[in-house]
Structure 1
Amino acid sequence: MGKKIRELGVTIGKLPVGRKNCITDVDGVQVGHVTLDFPIDEEGTYACTGVTAVLPHSGNLFKKKVTAASYVINGFGKTTGLVQVNELGVIESPIMLTNTFGVPAVTQGTLEYMLERNPEIGISTGTINLVVGECNDSYLNSIRHCPVTPGHAIEAIQNATEEVAKEGAVGAGKGMVCFGYKGGIGSSSRIVSVEDENLSYTIGCLVLSNFGEKYEFQADRYNSSKQQEPTTVKPTDGSIIIVLATDAPLSSRQLQRVIKRCGIGLGRTGSHFSHGSGDIVIGFTTAHKISHVSQSVVEIRTQLREDHPIMNKLFTAAAEATEEAIINSMSQAVTTAGRNNHTVHSYNFEN
């Protein structure tokens, strides 16, 4: 595993980062991975993929939901659950990431995990909405063989911790390619403050990067002048899944306004949201824990004022954290070999 871009002397943006510079700087948020890296047969068929789980908190997410929203920058994607997320404004399950053809297995595994912990689902209460995002890792992974199983989804959830998330070619990021070089999982965070009221909030971002061609990459932004390994990767347009977490008290509508700004960070790296790219943002705030069952007719939640300067700081934080998370997904990745001896080199940011 390589180094975070800040460890290499590159500062992105102006806002301060959290202690871990990771999505887990948002209190209670957990990340877990399962990485698959093995030959399936002697004919070049290879599992180079995985599963990543993001848990908004460590409790029972079905019983204590969080306020959420999603935003589709470009809709070439095969996610599950986002229609209901935007309709009701909540997330009630772990957010799962994997490869395109792994979505059914990961959905099944996540369902099994949640059903075991909530025996009332589908009997004395309604069903559950599961959220799964994907990118196409078929250059390195023998995607048609569907090596991801429901058990891998369960294992990723069980592996989730509040520690600094592993980044680069791990979990769902194992087989991903970014700008023709190795991509995958990246994370970063920002702190925004209201000095005169002694308030501060955290924005944390985790990405699954799998987009772009070499010529698009804005390498000069990251002081990268070192000669790179050649890349012959001719990817499809690719995709990125961005997960944004915060502890700021936002409504679902306000949260969607914030997560739209993740597209700014994505664009700064060089992406132009290609025709066949699934560029999707999933966001949540831990400020509200919404009970599945309540006898109350009315519920009261706090939220930030729309016209307070803190909103602009949150917009900035979303853009900065997304950009840095993407670059961390590359700087932390290692050269990776996969199916049919395909190899994707890591990008060397060290000058």
Structure 2
Amino acid sequence: MWKKVLGFVVIIAAAVGLVVYGMGGNTKNVAVSDSGSVSEASYYKELKKTPAGQQVLANMIIEKVLAKKFGDDVSQKSIDKQYNKVKKQYGSSFATTLTSNGMTEATFRDSLYLQALEEAAMKGTTKFTNAALKKEYKNYHAKVNISIITTDSESAAKDVIASLKKGKDFATLAKSKSTDTTTKSAGGKMSAFDSTSTTVDSTVQKAAFKLKKGEYTTTPVKVTSSSTGTTTYYVIKMNSLDKKKSFAAMKEKLKNIIVTDKMSDTTTVQAMVGDQLNKAKVTIKDSDLKSILSTYYEAAESAKSSSSSSK
């Protein structure tokens, strides 16, 4: 979650006053001492030189532009839900995780709001063709509920499969043989997921989706972690699977799947934002900050050129 949020927005508490302070010869002080004072103007002058300070201004501009057109599509309830989900996920380490990412609770909420605006804008500007929706429908697999037994070696996984073939109970074997500390106490049961899951390995998903209710994999499913390089062998059992809804009933979900895919590509997001900035006719008054939106404008221009050349 943190990667996702920080990939879209970079907000630091120290830069909150970037636009408000230092403009028009403002002489108020933000700090005073016997050794001298620091004015808002001098603070702004130094802050605007930093990449973080420049990004804060860019984010503030983007938020205003997107909120005017797509703000009604983002509810406070949805922001609170996202916030509480992350807070619950990190538990007692939530506050320290915020701090280590240069955030406060308020700026984290700001980041969630900007991300939600970008998603709303992406959905509002995407042309969903019937062909694209049908392609997503074909690739979509409905929610399944599976149990797993993980081992560190192929031979151990084969021994588990042999025991299952002899009639041994899957849950009992999971509790005694599985190396997965998260699921073994529950007899290997995982939380239900569908093909949009980003937490369940794609290899595990592919193997699971081939199973019918009550079936288990008869050969070990090998998964090698791209981050650690460690290899794990899975034995997977299908407990239950939902029936895939009709294409008509799933159209809205299919649109959301397409939007989520687009949002995972930074360049695509920047191009969309750049297009909206162009339409809003943004003018930056400070000559030192003229280029802070160039990344977005360039991405929009590149996307436009690619679209024209492909026609």
More strand by share: 1
Higher CA-based Rg: 2
Taking CA–CA contacts closer than 8 Å with sequence separation of 6 or more, which of the two structures ends up with the larger relative contact order? 1
User: What TM-score, normalized to structure 1?
Assistant: 0.23
User: What TM-score, normalized to structure 2?
Assistant: 0.25
More helix by share: 2
